[in-house]
Amino acid sequence: MIYLDNSATTIPDESVVQSFKQVSEKYFANPSSIHELGADVERLQTKAREQAATLLQIDPSEIIFTSGGTEGNNLAIKGVALKYQGRGNHIITTEIEHASVYETCKSLEELGFTVTYLPVNSDGVVDVQMVRSAITNKTILISIMHVNNETGSIQPIEEIGEIAKKHPKLFFHVDAVQALGKVPLQLHHSGIDLCTFSGHKIHGLKGTGMLYIKKGTVLYPLFHGGNQEQGLRSGTENVAGNVSFVRALRLMMERKQKGYGHLQKIHQNLFNHLGKIDGVYINSSEHGAPHIMNVSVPGLKPEVVIHALFEKGIVISTQSACSSKQSDKSRVLDASGRSSVVSSSGLRISLSYDTSEKEIEIFIRTFTETIKHLKDILE
């Protein structure tokens, strides 16, 4: 099998799975318990938090462990909105955000918040000047993703962070789920107040993740109860999951150092060859994230192409895995100015550091043959 759906989820690293198993078996006690077994578990989680902080060059107190990207995005956005609604009710985001941001903002509109959904250009990138111009005296939050999960477009987060620094009464949230370990992002002194990460996108386990919360940033919690995670996420901690997330994070950082050039090379190879196939339209920028490539084959239903490739041992996807069963048309491609026929036929090919050049060669050959075969049938 050639697995090219890594933006939906990555294959868990065996050592990450083992770390989860070992912690679950040996450190099973509740970390809130006052006996020594509980204290051991609490110390283990504290150590994991410190390790994550070192890897990301932040303070351990700025880390809240979560169940993944959706929870992290909801906590960041709703946490700011509900806490600071007395200061203002305006939120700025873009038209191409992941559903966990886009739908969260939509839900807040029902509660009386005003949301500005900024457009993007044909490369799927927001204009920094438009971000600046959208800010009003009622703006309390800017939420913009770093790397788009469908096309791999990279947003100018550093420049937006500089704008955010000049407006101390608003907060800047970044969904970095697809960026972690693939596209560099500095948190300290960046202007970023909140940043979301997910474990299963970095060869970790589903149900694990992290939210960076800059010192001084206060949120309204979504969960109330036992005051775990600094009172922001009540509920008995998933210590085995948290430890496994940190292990996956460390391994991902190591992979990035050794394999980034390789990832760029196979991405460029994909871009060059797919662009030469008759009837194939490339939706991703050549200068986007090195692990995501989005193409459309107008006239062919994405699910037909996906199933045909799967029968030949190749796995790709369409849209975001969170939205692929809801609509034929990609909101992201539509917002990027693609025609209806292109927006309705998008295919996502997503790589990992484990993807080999040989696998990409096989994919390109098989994809070309499959497209030709399917079109011949239609004719």
Q: Catalytic amino acids?
A: 322
Integer CA distances (angstroms), 329 to 76, 98, 100, 106, 299, in order: 28, 15, 18, 19, 13
The two structure tokens encoding residue 361: 């060669």
Give phi and psi for 169, each to the nearest 5. Answer: -90, -5
How far is the C-alpha of 176 from the C-alpha of 249, rounded, in Å?
A: 13
The residues pairing with 118 across neighbouring beta strands, listed in sequence order, are: 94
Tell me the H-state helices in the chain: 14-26, 36-56, 69-83, 99-109, 128-134, 157-165, 239-274, 302-310, 331-335, 340-343, 357-378
Return d(Cα 9, Cα 204) in angstroms, integer: 9
Strand partners, 195: 174, 212
User: For the chain, what percentages of helix, strand and coil (3-state, to nearest 5) are there?
Assistant: 40, 15, 45
